[in-house]
């Protein structure tokens, strides 16, 4: 199916990669302009990080979007604005820490930051592994662990039984553990 301005939203909700490519091609200048405006005091790496976060967020949350192309532009603009502001605040805190003299509390904070970075990397690895699951399992994991819905709520939302959700979570966890262990062997 050919992507166009009329069907890219539907295709994005169906997790079709060509729709994401269309969105990146179409909205990259818009997203980048917002990120540059907010992150102008920081380097281009921060802008690129923000832009990547925006498109990842759009991909992961496409099912939540409701509206037409004009609404989509507003939606992606708001995501960009909030991602850029969050990154701006993080970079300012980091810059402030670098300006202050190093004390024992600062060393402890740096260790906490390193732990947070490791946690974030592990979370990103887990998200990548989840993205490799089939669509229904992926939806169940996102609803259960990121939206923090109960198994019954997930079952109701997807129109399946609670036992099916329990089984898919169990099997999915085994698949994720196997994928992550396999990856660690080759690293």
Query: Which is more confidently placed, 42 or 49?
Result: 49
* Residue 100 predicted with pLDDT over 70: no
Dump strand ranges (E) for 73-112. Answer: none
- The confidence score (pLDDT) of residue 108 equals 61
Query: Which is more confidently placed, 63 or 183?
Result: 63
- The confidence score (pLDDT) of residue 183 equals 59
Number of H helices, E strands in the chain: 8, 0
Closest-CA residue to 13 (of 52, 53, 58, 74): 58
Percentage of residues in the chain having pLDDT higher than 70: 85
Give the predicted TM-score (pTM) of the model: 0.50
Query: Which is more confidently placed, 186 or 141?
Result: 141
- Mean pLDDT, rounded, for 165-172: 90
Cβ atoms of 185 and 154 closer than 8 Å: no
């Amino acid at each position: 199916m050919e992507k166009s301005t009329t069907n890219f939203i539907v295709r994005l909700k169906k997790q079709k990669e060509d729709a994401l490519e269309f969105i990146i091609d179409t909205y990259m200048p818009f997203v980048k302009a917002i990120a540059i405006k907010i992150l102008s005091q920081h380097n281009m790496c921060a802008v690129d990080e923000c832009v990547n976060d925006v498109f990842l967020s759009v991909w992961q949350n496409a099912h939540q979007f409701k509206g037409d192309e004009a609404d989509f532009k507003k939606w992606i603009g708001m995501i960009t604005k909030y991602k850029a502001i969050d990154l701006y605040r993080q970079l300012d805190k980091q810059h402030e820490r670098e300006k202050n003299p190093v004390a024992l509390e600062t060393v402890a904070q740096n260790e906490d930051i390193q732990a947070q970075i490791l946690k974030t990397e592990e979370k990103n690895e887990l998200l990548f592994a989840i993205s490799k699951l089939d669509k229904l399992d992926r939806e169940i994991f996102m609803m259960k662990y990121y939206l923090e819905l109960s198994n019954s709520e997930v079952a109701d939302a997807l129109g399946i039984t609670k036992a099916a959700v329990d089984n898919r979570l169990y099997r999915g966890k085994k698949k994720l553990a196997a994928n992550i262990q396999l990856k660690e062997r080759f690293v």
